[in-house]
Structure 1
Amino acid sequence: MLPGAVIGWDLTAALALGNALGVPPLAMAELLPVIEAVMVRKLSEELTVNGGPGVRS
């Protein structure tokens, strides 16, 4: 954990959520790492550029 930074998701929680929604485990194994990487990159960009989601200078 880093203050003011996004370094990743709680994949245990993401897998549990996918399971509860009936997403096949193979699909989650293929898609979650890709989705996580994009979201971490975009959230980090948002923190760098604007000081965080919903915060505008």
Structure 2
Amino acid sequence: MLPGAVVGWDLTAALALGDSLGVPPLATAELLPVIEAVMVAQLNEQMERPDG
């Protein structure tokens, strides 16, 4: 946990969400880390902007 920064998602919750949406667990496990990395980078970049 870092004040003012996103370090990651609750992957247990994300896996449960994928399951509830009918996404195969293998697909979720393969795709979530890539999606998480991009989203975390984008959120942190946005928070650093003065208008963020």
Unaligned runs of 5+ in 2: none
Query: Unaligned stretches of 5+ in structure 1?
Result: 51-55
- 1:42 CA displacement: 0.3
Show the 5 A alignment for 1:1-57.
Answer: 1-50=1-50, 56=51
* Distance of 1:32 and 1:10 partners within structure 2: 11
User: Relative contact order (C-alpha < 8 Å, sep 6+): which is higher?
Assistant: 2
Q: TM-score, normalised by structure 2?
A: 0.92
| Number of residue-to-residue matches in the alignment | 52
Inter-partner Cα distance in structure 2 for 1:38 and 1:23: 20
| Secondary structure of 1:6 counterpart | coil
For each residue in 1:13-56, what CA deviation from the matched residue of structure 2 results, as whole angstroms up to 9, or x when unmatched? 00000000110001001100000000000001001113xxxxx2
TM-score (norm 1): 0.84
